[in-house]
Chain A
Amino acid sequence: DAGVTQSPTHLIKTRGQQVTLRCSPKSGHDTVSWYQQALGQGPQFIFQYYEEEERQRGNFPDRFSGHQFPNYSSELNVNALLLGDSALYLCASKKSGPGEFYYEQYFGPGTRLTVT
């Protein structure tokens, strides 16, 4: 049973460029969230996708956008990259539903983005 997978592992981009990160959720999961983890800090919530719609968004500018596909995989797009966007980007997946079991999020290994 494959867990959450993310690609690529590492990425180097130049200021002003655009980047797309990809995530495949754990088997059986239908909800995907994205988090940004700057060096030495805890992850910060970017947004969550369910049924191909953004259902919750954190305090991130519109330069950050996403998409969820019918197979539940997801992309994170960042436009007009800034140096401050350098971070580890984590994808997390879960099953939707009521009850405490559905609060558990499973994280992927992350994509390390460096903006120069």
Chain B
Amino acid sequence: AQSVTQLGSHVSVSEGALVLLRCNYSSSVPPYLFWYVQYPNQGLQLLLKYTSAATLVKGINGFEAEFKKSETSFHLTKPSAHMSDAAEYFCAVGSARQLTFGSGTQLTVLP
């Protein structure tokens, strides 16, 4: 079975500050890992994915994530937060058939 834990249901950062959203996974097989973003009243948009190639993955909107097998982590970072980054972020583990999502982290960006 695969599972994901997102540490921190709410994260607040100042505009221009570093964004760090934490995700730890559990998987009995080499994982495929994803980060999605959800804006209010919208569906999910794929930010980036890890599929066993480079461990540092770059995504859209300046986000990146690093796969660390020894720590079973896949944390999402962005060097400088923008007001438009305020949204809910979901980490997911899965296959081509099924994704298992974490409970999400609500990111607030303070002016």
Contact residues, B82-111 vs A (CB, 8 A): 90, 92, 94-104
Q: Which A residues are CB-close (under 8 A) to B52?
A: 100
Q: By the criterion CB–CB under 8 Å, are B96 and A42 in contact?
A: no
9 A-B interface contacts by CB (under 8 A) = A33-B99, A42-B101, A42-B104, A44-B101, A90-B43, A100-B52, A104-B46, A105-B99, A106-B46
Binding site for A on B (CB under 8 A): 32, 36, 41-46, 49, 51-53, 90, 92, 94-104
How many A-B pairs have beta carbons closer than 8 Å: the answer is 62
Q: By the criterion CB–CB under 8 Å, are A107 and B97 in contact?
A: no
CA distance A81 to B97 in the complex (A): 26
Any B CB within 8 A of the CB of A103: yes
For residue A58, give the distance in angstroms from its CB to the closest CB of chain B: 7
Contact residues, A55-104 vs B (CB, 8 A): 55-56, 58, 90, 92, 94, 96, 100, 102-104
Q: By the criterion CB–CB under 8 Å, are A48 and B49 in contact?
A: no
Which of A42, A102, A105 contacts B103 (CB under 8 A)?
A: A42
For residue B17, give the distance in angstroms from its CB to the closest CB of chain A: 25
Which among B32, B44, B52, B53 has the highest number of chain A CB atoms within 10 Å?
B44
Q: Which residue of B lies closest to A58 (CB)?
A: B98
Q: By the criterion CB–CB under 8 Å, are A100 and B42 in contact?
A: no
Q: By the criterion CB–CB under 8 Å, are B90 and A42 in contact?
A: yes
Q: Which B residues are CB-close (under 8 A) to A108?
A: 43
Ranked nearest first, the 10 interchain pairs of A and B with the lowest CB-CB distance are: A42-B101, A100-B51, A107-B43, A107-B44, A56-B97, A109-B43, A45-B98, A43-B101, A42-B103, A108-B43
